């Protein structure tokens, strides 16, 4: 790079070589800028993916909590229905309905036939 400075120091003359030498750092800066932009895009994408995944985990946690509450309700309903079935199947209740509502009587021992 060749340059000339005048006696008074107010004038700098650049030769053709100086301009060529000056152009390389601009390309390097452009490459660095492009790399910086790509890096920032990657960082932004990774950050958005991380936040999205955390939101999904929280959402799945809420869904699991809701499903567990629903399971507790269904288990309680199942227990209540099983108890109701057992109550309705009780022989004392069936015998009471047969005698009082249907007018049936107990069979005599010689009228009973046991089937195996």
What's the domain count of the chain? 1
pTM of the model: 0.52
Residue 33 CB-density burial (10 A; 0-12 exposed, 13-18 middle, 19+ buried): exposed
116 occurs within a structural domain: no
32 occurs within a structural domain: yes
Q: Indicate the angle between helix axes 91-100 and 16-89, nearest 10 degrees.
A: 50
Write out pLDDT tens, residues 23-67.
Answer: 555 667 888 888 999 999 999 999 999 999 999 999 999 999 999
97 occurs within a structural domain: yes
Question: Are 22 and 36 in contact, with CB atoms under 8 Å apart?
Answer: no
Local confidence band at 107 (pLDDT 50, 70, 90 cut-offs): confident
Write out pLDDT tens, residues 60-71.
Answer: 999 999 999 999
29 occurs within a structural domain: yes
Residue span of the structural domain in which 75 resides: 3-107
More confident residue, 107 or 40: 40
112 occurs within a structural domain: no
38 occurs within a structural domain: yes
């Amino acid at each position: 790079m060749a340059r000339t400075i005048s006696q008074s120091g107010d004038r700098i003359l650049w030769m053709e070589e100086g301009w060529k030498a000056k152009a390389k750092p601009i390309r390097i800066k452009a490459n660095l800028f492009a790399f910086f932009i790509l890096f920032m895009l990657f960082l932004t994408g990774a950050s958005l993916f991380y936040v999205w995944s955390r939101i999904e985990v929280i959402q799945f946690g809420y869904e699991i909590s809701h499903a567990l509450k629903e399971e507790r309700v269904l288990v309680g309903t199942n227990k209540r229905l099983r108890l109701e079935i057992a109550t309705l199947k009780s022989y004392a209740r069936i015998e009471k309905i047969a005698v009082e509502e249907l007018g049936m009587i107990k069979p005599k021992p010689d009228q009973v036939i046991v089937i195996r």
